[in-house]
Chain A
């Protein structure tokens, strides 16, 4: 209570400062009058009485000062005074203020912007209630993790005493029939427990129940755009993929399933018992029951594994379930890049700090005279140090505000750049945490920068400083060393950032020019979304595609038409396990995996994939005929390193004696399907589409000469004429797909390049500042030399040499640092070593060019120096 009263009193004192002063005057006046009155009463003359009273009282001003000290607001008043003084002196030195604020602003702004992303993505919890209890359940097959199969899903849900509730989903484009024709609605099929697992319920209607059959829940967006947002939609129906679904609910505006695509609708799907363990297509999430630990989940997973193996013997023994915390998996891809960016902006801030320290040191030297005078006039060293630190804090707050404003302006552009590799970008904003971070970063940076000059406020011996003609040589030399060290540090940091970003940029260049195994120029691709009735019949499908192929080929300019179920460079749909004849696995052994892609006869020709041996598929490779496959080089290398792969035989899936062998009839060049060039080439098995499951959303590829934009309307017209119920999705040229496949790397590169630029500018300013100071300190010496006829070039050379000496040391240190960092970055580098010569040489060239530019101005001032004037100065 007492301290509270103390604070209240102080506040009252501060706000009532002037009234208080008046009252104090009045009180003292009263005191004196009382004394005088008493003295007069004792018989003194009134003049003498006043004199005696004043004598008795002592120093009036002194007493007032002591009373003011006792009000407890002295330091606040001091701080206010210091802040005013700081603002005034900043105004008086606009160049210093501008450079310091720009450095701090850029440093804080970059950090705040990146932190806003880190905060939104890595630090804030997911939007789902109790999201920490949600895990994704996947199968770990030792090479990567795969979704669940129907067999897995059913065992999970039927196991009693489960510590979790489980639900599955898969993204799906539904073909919806409306009065205006067919339309594709992106959404997902889901199992009935999906909304319980994510802990949300519809805002209108209800979730799915176990007795629902053809039921659908709508997103808020879809409800608004397609049904006018009316509340009586529950019970209405939608025709999706040829079946009538009953609407049972509408979700709130912010609900979405994990992943990129915003879902429009979620339709219920029943999972039925399959005939084999695969395929693996169910993305599954489990919510751990309250109070159950992950050990319990582990136990359960081992138990379900047992159930699956019991029922589907021969399924791969070493495959295990893994429970991945939802948040970790969502942000896993972004984490390394974000950390790299954080490190880069950290360097930018450190450089800014070094730069501001440099500026403050230079200013401290200039102000040495003033400070000496103030200390001579009675300012304590503490008071002077406090004053210096207050100035830094003011600088920090202003810099932070500037930086936050910058971050605010950039966060949208940053979002656009980062959304290609950062999930949850829509949850990123500048909130209280980010603001606090920005302010703290700014003030901390400025205080660190201010600490060095503040602590170098010397205990003056007045005579020494004043007699030196106002130029503190001893302190000057000491500060000179600190400032040189700071420049070295700045260049070390800047060159590290520059090199790392150079390596990443070079990776991007390599990646973008990497050979994907295809010639994508002149190829356009699209997906006709075929209704299940009648296209689930293979015969109907085959004749549809044969007609489409024929009609498209007849179009002017069209040279080839092909079909595939996967698309380079990163649209791989199916990976399958298989057995090669003669390499049968032991019952418990692991099966090899390959990309498994049904294609049409002309697919290889359409993408210009070279046929290296044997033949491509033929019209005669259809159901009922002997099954054939074409493999890629990587496959041939894996299984037929020293013999002819043609005629070799294999089976998809497990070694099932009832299934026929498939014969290898051709070998084609490697094509990247999994993740562009960065993921490299994997073994691929192509099957004939007439001998494979037909996709109702096949990729159709058309190679045409001339303008692809002109061909596309004709293609649309042909397709609509052939099947009006099949909307066209995903129209893109191969070049666009290839460009898009490197968007993550591109975003990373451009962000890092910006950081490198942000690091270079203050570093250059730093070397400029130090050299200017160096030159000004040696005016006399230079003037003398000039007067004695020293050649100008040598004098200029000496200045540049002094600057470059610092830069060389800095860059050398930076190279070592960059090398260490780059060794940890190999996953982000593509065909670029951590010690790539061209990058290091290029970075040095840039750094020295910048350094020489920064050195030129101060060295030219040596030439401009008028020896006579300079010598007369002192």
Chain B
């Protein structure tokens, strides 16, 4: 836990949230945990950004929220991907792939 955690690149948080929710509906804490887990503890989601981002995605209609009972019998707000969000995820994934490929290409460049 003392390892250096990479801060999230601006704008990628939304993409990661959408991707996480594509797997299954999840509450805020779970989303943060999963992103950390999937990135092998490299990416760390600051809660100060997570909840505003969720609110933003709700407003844009990419995700929907619903109160449900969690695994440990607690009431929690679960977020799920909406159909618009699914399209958005696809578009953003493509765009991310293009960008990262391009960046990698530049970094690998040699004369």
Contacts and interface: CB of A to CB of B under 8 A. Distances in A.
Interface of A: 2, 5-6, 9-10, 23-24, 26-28, 30-31, 33-35, 37, 56-59, 62-63, 66-67, 69-72
Interface string B12-46: 00000000000000011110000000000000001
B108 interface: no
A27 B59 contact: no
Contacts of B52: 63, 66-67, 69-70
Nearest to B56: A70
A39 to B, nearest CB: 10
A58 B47 CA distance: 7
Contacts of B74: 30, 33
A58 B48 contact: yes
A27 B28 contact: yes
Contacts of B59: 6, 9-10, 70-72
Interface of B: 27-30, 46-49, 51-53, 55-56, 58-61, 67, 70, 72, 74-77, 84
Given A26-B75, A35-B29, A70-B56, A5 B48 contact: no
B4 to A, nearest CB: 16
Given A37-B72, A58-B47, A66-B51, A31 B28 contact: yes
A59 B52 CA distance: 13
B72 to A, nearest CB: 7
Contacts of A70: 52-53, 55-56, 59
B76 A62 contact: no
Contact of B55 (A28, A56, A62, A71): A71
In the A-B complex, the 3 residue pairs with the closest CB atoms: A70-B55, A34-B29, A66-B52
Nearest to B84: A2
Contacts of B76: 27, 30
Given A6-B60, A35-B29, A58-B46, A27 B55 contact: no
Contact of B51 (A10, A56, A67): A67
B8 to A, nearest CB: 14
Which one of B52, B56, B59, B72 has the highest number of Cβ atoms from chain A below 10 Å of its Cβ?
B59
A10 B56 CA distance: 11
A67 B28 CA distance: 13
B87 to A, nearest CB: 12
Given A27-B51, A58-B47, A70-B59, 4 more contacts: A2-B60, A9-B58, A58-B46, A58-B48
Contacts of A28: 51
10 contacts: A2-B61, A6-B59, A23-B67, A27-B76, A30-B76, A34-B30, A63-B48, A66-B49, A70-B55, A71-B55
Contacts of A56: 47
Which one of B51, B56, B70, B84 has the highest number of Cβ atoms from chain A below 10 Å of its Cβ?
B51
Nearest to A62: B48
Nearest to B59: A9
A33 B27 CA distance: 13
Nearest to A63: B48
Contacts of A72: 59
A24 to B, nearest CB: 8
A66 B54 CA distance: 11
Contacts of B55: 67, 70-71
Given A30-B74, A30-B76, A37-B72, A66 B48 contact: yes
Contacts of A23: 67, 77
A5 B61 contact: yes
Nearest to A34: B29
A81 B67 CA distance: 31
Nearest to A52: B1
Nearest to B47: A57
Contacts of B53: 70
A62 B51 CA distance: 11
Which one of A24, A34, A66 has the highest number of Cβ atoms from chain B below 10 Å of its Cβ?
A34
A539 to B, nearest CB: 97
A62 B50 CA distance: 12
A59 B48 contact: yes
Contacts of B58: 9
B62 to A, nearest CB: 10
A41 to B, nearest CB: 11
A71 B27 CA distance: 18
Contacts of B30: 34
Given A57-B47, A59-B48, A63-B52, A31 B75 contact: no
A70 B55 CA distance: 6
A31 B49 CA distance: 14
A66 B48 CA distance: 8
Nearest to B70: A30
A6 B84 CA distance: 13
Nearest to B74: A30
Nearest to A30: B76
Given A58-B47, A63-B47, A66-B52, A27 B61 contact: no
Nearest to B57: A70
Contacts of B77: 23, 26-27, 30
Nearest to A5: B61
Contacts of A27: 27-28, 51, 76-77
A805 to B, nearest CB: 59
A390 to B, nearest CB: 25
Contacts of A31: 27-29, 47
Contacts of B84: 2
Nearest to A65: B52
A703 to B, nearest CB: 89
A335 to B, nearest CB: 54
B69 to A, nearest CB: 11
A69 B61 CA distance: 17
A14 to B, nearest CB: 13
B44 to A, nearest CB: 9
Given A27-B28, A27-B76, A30-B74, A63 B51 contact: yes
Nearest to A59: B48
A59 B27 CA distance: 20
Contacts of A26: 75, 77
A57 B53 CA distance: 15
A35 to B, nearest CB: 7
B35 to A, nearest CB: 14
Given A37-B72, A56-B47, A58-B46, A30 B27 contact: yes
B111 to A, nearest CB: 45
Nearest to A70: B55
A66 to B, nearest CB: 4
A827 to B, nearest CB: 63
A34 B75 CA distance: 12
A59 B61 CA distance: 27
Nearest to A4: B61
A755 to B, nearest CB: 52
A532 B53 CA distance: 95
A684 B77 CA distance: 98
Contacts of A10: 59
Contacts of B56: 70
Nearest to B46: A58
Contacts of A69: 52
A71 B49 CA distance: 14
A32 to B, nearest CB: 9
Contacts of A58: 46-48
A2 B85 CA distance: 12
A650 B84 CA distance: 96
Contacts of B51: 24, 27-28, 63, 66-67
Contacts of B29: 30-31, 34-35
B23 to A, nearest CB: 18
A72 B52 CA distance: 11
Contacts of A24: 51
A49 B53 CA distance: 26
Nearest to A58: B48
B49 to A, nearest CB: 8
Contacts of A33: 74
A360 to B, nearest CB: 37
A30 B30 CA distance: 11
Nearest to B67: A23
